[in-house]
Amino acid sequence: MVEPRNNSVQTPTYKVLVADSQPVNRDVVRQILEPMGASVTETADGREALDATATVAFDLILLDMKMPGMDGATVVSRIRASDSPNCRSPILVFLAGQQTYAERLLTYEFDGTLTKPLVHDQLIEAFIAYCPQGSARSEAERIGPTRGRDGIIDRSAIG
């Protein structure tokens, strides 16, 4: 069988789960990571996040610490204790000035934290650090900056 020729460079697809009760936060993550080769799955609460991780293997999981129904700490604890395909996936949590969680982080198996409001470069650095094979770094360099002069996301640069 002859394979069709494709002269374009294929960007690897990394599966990323973002769980946050605020749609705008999920949209910002999507707008930043999709041009870098991420396929972003969104959930609005902890229960949905846990359900999503039961069958789909994610390369990176991003969880808000404060979600309705089930917080990020509970979600990560249950993922790590499960036999899901994500029991060893990297999990980062969003913290919005929640210093009270700092000590709890030591007792849960998070891989790291991201601050809220979301810092563009911090999210890109985390994605590059945790995506497999490091290919996202070259994609990030190829697409260049995705922020406008005022630091706000320049949607025209994203696509």
**pTM, 2 dp:** 0.76
All structural domains of the chain with their residue ranges: 14-145
Q: Which CATH number fits domain 14-145: 3.60.150.10, 3.20.20.70, 3.40.50.2300, 3.60.15.10?
A: 3.40.50.2300
CB 57 within 8 A of CB 87: no
Tell me, what's the pLDDT at 107?
60
The maximal CA–CA distance of the chain, rounded, in angstroms, is 60
Render each residue's pLDDT in the chain as its tens digit; 159 residues.
Answer: 444 444 444 556 899 999 999 999 999 999 999 998 899 999 999 999 999 999 999 999 999 988 888 988 899 999 999 999 999 999 999 887 655 555 555 566 788 888 888 888 999 999 999 886 544 444 444 444 443 333 333 333 333
* Phi and psi angles of residue 111, each rounded to the nearest 5 degrees, phi first: -95, -15
